[in-house]
Structure 1
Amino acid sequence: MTELKNIEMEEMEEVERVGKALKRTQGPYQWAMYDNWERLKRHYSDNPREVLVPLTTNKDTILHIVAFAGRKDVLEFLISLIKEARQLHHALTMENGQGNTALHEVAATGNLAAGMLWVGLDNRVKIELARLDLPQNGAHGCASYKRVVEIRNQLGETPLYRAAAFGHTKLAKYLATQVGVDDIELHFQRHVDQVSILHIAVIGQHFETALWLQKEYQNLAERKESNGFTSLQLLARMPSAFQGKFRKSKWKMLIYKCKIYSMP
């Protein structure tokens, strides 16, 4: 009985702790929601350490929220408040409750400029950490350095996969150039359901993205999802995909390319 009571007390204390933490962050969260960016910037200028403090129960930091809002200028300002390379690496790779980094949030919005900013910062941090002469197999050593483009969320999605899933072709193309040729395969499928990057683009009816994927990575046409359908077969089972003049031209081209590339 005593043990149960102690557990209940610990749970209540945790709820109270989280409540107090969220109350402290209520201002920044509201400023972000109402696009009061100048007020938000003043707050973090006075409290730079709070940049890495979660604002929501989903563990979103202000970086996640601003990234999803697509505000490259505000992201640049917030990042400028972080001076130390290790802390900046932490900021770039911090994950929320879904395992999304700020780059995952950028991928959902398709903001190319913000995506280039984040990847560029990551490349800079990697160089800076290398210059610190840290142990190569240590927590921050170059050998163990994981780039932001490689991080998967809890669904097993990389930022490249996520950009394609939302139909942001320009950002997907850019992220693909930041992935090594030998590593690109890791971005073609998510872990949770094994859905390929081409299938997810077709499911979302993002035909421009699907066409680019099919042209650039021709073997994707042969892949089958869990029900045994290729992307072409999946497309044929989607009546809504055949509505509208623009879509019609896109899916016709996709069908043609899928047929061509899947021929023996």
Structure 2
Amino acid sequence: MEEGTPMEGGIQNGPEIQIVISPELITPSCDLLSGEARDKYLDICITLYQAALKDDWNAAKGVIEIFPTVVRSSITQGCETALHIAAAAKRIHFVEELVGRMNREDLELLNSNGNTALCFATAAGTVRIAEVMINKNERLPMIRGSQGMTPLYMAALLGHSDMVWYLYKKTKSEDLSDDDRIGILNTCVSTDLYDVALDILNHHPQLAVARDRDGETTLHVLARKPSAFTGGSRITR
């Protein structure tokens, strides 16, 4: 799959995010269902959708100037906003411009699977997009996505080292439970992010013998990874 090419679905076990792209599957948002806006709905949302995919800010700007509330509207069947779509497609410039026209709370909007646009950026692995969002709303790292996963856990699960380090610094430790920490720790070990795992253990040494929800300690996870004992670790910092 080419970088930034969305397909149908949600967050997958890989670096790409997949979202609905068929215009016929797009469903209207409540604030676009009255008056003249109703007649123009498809033109508005399809134009914005395609602009987000193509990083065409000029086209998006034209729509937003006429219908300012479209920046917080759901424009896909999965209830994604333009920000979700641009984040999934790794469109940095588009995200920068769009976030500049959104309220802080708009960045907390969830799609039908319960994921914020930051969750999409996390799965895509684009740190700059995550930075833009969190600079606007520092609460985002602690807004959980599908299955109750934090963005940090998602990044660790997908093995995005740079994103993990960024979110690790932006996620408030006091807002994480011990279950969260051991889950992140064991996931970092599982995805060869040993530098993050070591830092977690340095700050929370009690986790060395803690068990995750599957009843496993970090040693159990390490025992399944021969590369951890043969110089194959990915220590980057």
2:212 is equivalent to residue 212 of structure 1: no
Pairwise CA distance, 1:51: 1.2
| TM-score, normalised by the number of residues in structure 2 | 0.68
SS at match of 2:147: coil
Contact 2:122 2:151 in 1 (8 A): yes
- The alpha-carbon distance between structure 1 residues 185 and 250, as it changes in their structure 2 partners (threshold 3 A), is farther
Number of aligned residue pairs: 197
- The alpha-carbon distance between structure 1 residues 186 and 104, as it changes in their structure 2 partners (threshold 3 A), is farther
RMSD after superposition: 3.3
- Could you tell which deviates more after superposition, 35-44 or 71-80? 35-44
- The alpha-carbon distance between structure 1 residues 55 and 168, as it changes in their structure 2 partners (threshold 3 A), is same
SS at match of 2:105: helix
Pairwise CA distance, 1:64: 0.7
- Could you tell which deviates more after superposition, 226-235 or 50-59? 226-235
2:237 is equivalent to residue 250 of structure 1: no
2:78 is equivalent to residue 58 of structure 1: yes
> In the aligned structure 2, how far is the partner of 1:71 from the partner of 1:44?
17
Match of 1:42 in 2: 62
Pairwise CA distance, 1:107: 1.2
Match of 2:116 among 67, 79, 101: 101
| TM-score, normalised by the number of residues in structure 1 | 0.62
Match of 1:222 among 193, 209, 212: 209
Mapping for residues 49-198 of structure 1, pairs under 5 Å = 49-82=69-102, 88-123=103-138, 147-185=139-177, 188=180, 196-198=183-185
Deviation sequence 1:165-218 (CA, Å, 0-9, x none): 2222222222222233423447825xxxxx711223344xx21x2431233334
Deviation sequence 1:32-78 (CA, Å, 0-9, x none): 34554543343334432211111212111111111122222111211
- The alpha-carbon distance between structure 1 residues 23 and 202, as it changes in their structure 2 partners (threshold 3 A), is farther
Deviation sequence 1:3-49 (CA, Å, 0-9, x none): xxxxxxxxxxxxxxx75668452333234345545433433344322
> In the aligned structure 1, how far is the partner of 2:127 from the partner of 2:171?
16
Contact 1:37 1:74 in 2 (8 A): yes
Kindly indicate which of the two structures has a greater share of residues assigned to helix.
1
Match of 1:262 in 2: none
Structure 1 segments unaligned to the other structure (5+ residues)? 1-17, 83-87, 124-146, 190-194, 254-264
- The alpha-carbon distance between structure 1 residues 20 and 96, as it changes in their structure 2 partners (threshold 3 A), is closer
Structure 2 segments unaligned to the other structure (5+ residues)? 1-25, 30-40
Paired AA for residue 180 in structure 2: F
> In the aligned structure 1, how far is the partner of 2:233 from the partner of 2:211?
18
Pairwise CA distance, 1:108: 1.1
> In the aligned structure 2, how far is the partner of 1:186 from the partner of 1:118?
27
SS at match of 1:39: helix
> In the aligned structure 1, how far is the partner of 2:80 from the partner of 2:94?
16
- Could you tell which deviates more after superposition, 59-68 or 151-160? 151-160
Match of 2:224 among 203, 216, 237: 237
> In the aligned structure 2, how far is the partner of 1:222 from the partner of 1:26?
52
Match of 1:201 in 2: 188
- The alpha-carbon distance between structure 1 residues 221 and 41, as it changes in their structure 2 partners (threshold 3 A), is farther
Instruction: Among all aligned residue pairs of Structure 1 and Structure 2, give the percentage whose two residues are the same amino acid.
Output: 27
Contact 1:55 1:61 in 2 (8 A): yes
